Amino acid sequence: MYNAKVLFFTMYLIILFSKTGINETRYSFLVEWYDDLASITRKFCLRYFISNNTVELVELKNGKTFLKRIKCDGVTLKSIYLGSTLNIFSRQMKITDYGDDFTRESFSQVTQRTYGMLKPESVPHLGKILDEIYARGFKVTNAKMCQMSEDNAKEFYKEHEERTFFPTLVRHMSSAPVVALELMGKDAIKSWRREIGPTDVEQAKDEAPNSLRALYGLNKTQNGFHGSDSPESAERELEIFFPSKVPSRRSIPRSTATFENSTCCVILPHVVEEGHLGRIISEFQNSSFEISAMRMFYLNKTDVQEFYEVYEGVIPEHNGMVGQLMSGPSVALEIKHPSCKSQEEIVSKFRLLVGPSDPEIARELRPQSIRAKYGATKVKNAVHCTDLPEDGSLEVEYFFKILE
């Protein structure tokens, strides 16, 4: 009789908890949203329920529910990690911290961040390497092509300043553009160092022939890649290239944008989230186009509306285009071509590769174009490219001067 009562009571609690959601797995994060109308930053607790991909928001200031539990398109477990920006009903919420110990323990290793860098000799293979990075289980959560000064290189490699190779290393790293990456993945710090392989390229070819240094490195100095060796190093190195606070301009490795005889390309969020970033950049490079500048952006509504202002009232898909470009990370590129000697030439030549704005039409008329291969709809058409020659430098300046 006693066992029967215990069993009955246990079953009652299970049924009760399942109905009330008490036993439901829920993750909690602290998020911030800048309210343009009030000109203040509002702080919330974001709760994410994995059973049906629903979210709710509670204001930290007063404990009131700001958004009742609801499903939000684009917000999935894959899109939630420390530092990410979520588009919740046109409000961009930036995740700043974990909301409880359970979430911290669940996410800290699975979504660990590390700093990765493509050294000058690897940059010409940018597209292939990005594709390798995604294929090896990493997510690119920030990216920037930049030119390090000698001072930047000395600061970055300061732990080696007493070594004999230090002057050579500094000269090499400041000789040409590098690509800085914030990478995320399970045990990312150790995993990334394992994937890039031993420092000595010959050793890498012998001991780890599939490592990135074995595939793309040249020698011990020009070994293609850098990877943080500890959580402390990762934080320090990420802060140099992706500062959380506004630094002095002298300390920032400068943009590589030239603003001359170039055109603008923006790889849309749906393509980035699908992991096709490297493939599209490879398509550009295989067609002899040069990536002279690159930067990943998390654009807010005001920035996107300003950028797409020329299409408002002209293109029926304008509102959808705005929603797509602010829905997640996008990647802006400055594109050049060695055969193009004018703005008009490069804009026209690049548009041919990109294809018609409607992917369905692109698949009929230009089946090998970027939009034919990677576009889905008029809104999710893979990439934005400059329409008019006179807008080429203006659009590049918007991303690499105004926003950056």
As annotated, the active-site residues are 226
DSSP string across 229-261: SSHHHHHHHHHHHS-SS---GGGSPEE----SS
Q: Cβ(295)–Cβ(404) under 8 Å?
A: yes
Q: State whether residue 105 is helix, strand or coil.
A: helix
Q: Cβ(118)–Cβ(222) under 8 Å?
A: no
Q: Cβ(101)–Cβ(48) under 8 Å?
A: no
- What is the rounded CA–CA span in Å between residue 222 and residue 55? 47
Q: Cβ(304)–Cβ(157) under 8 Å?
A: no
CA distances from 42 to 25, 63, 234, 299 (A): 26, 12, 29, 18
Give CA torsion, residues 271, 273, 275, 281, to 10 deg.
40
- Maximum alpha-carbon separation in the chain: 91
Checking 236-242 for CB contacts under 8 A at 24+ apart, the result is 237/115, 237/156, 238/113, 238/115, 238/142, 238/182, 240/152, 240/155, 240/156, 241/115, 241/144, 241/146, 241/180, 242/142, 242/144, 242/180, 242/182
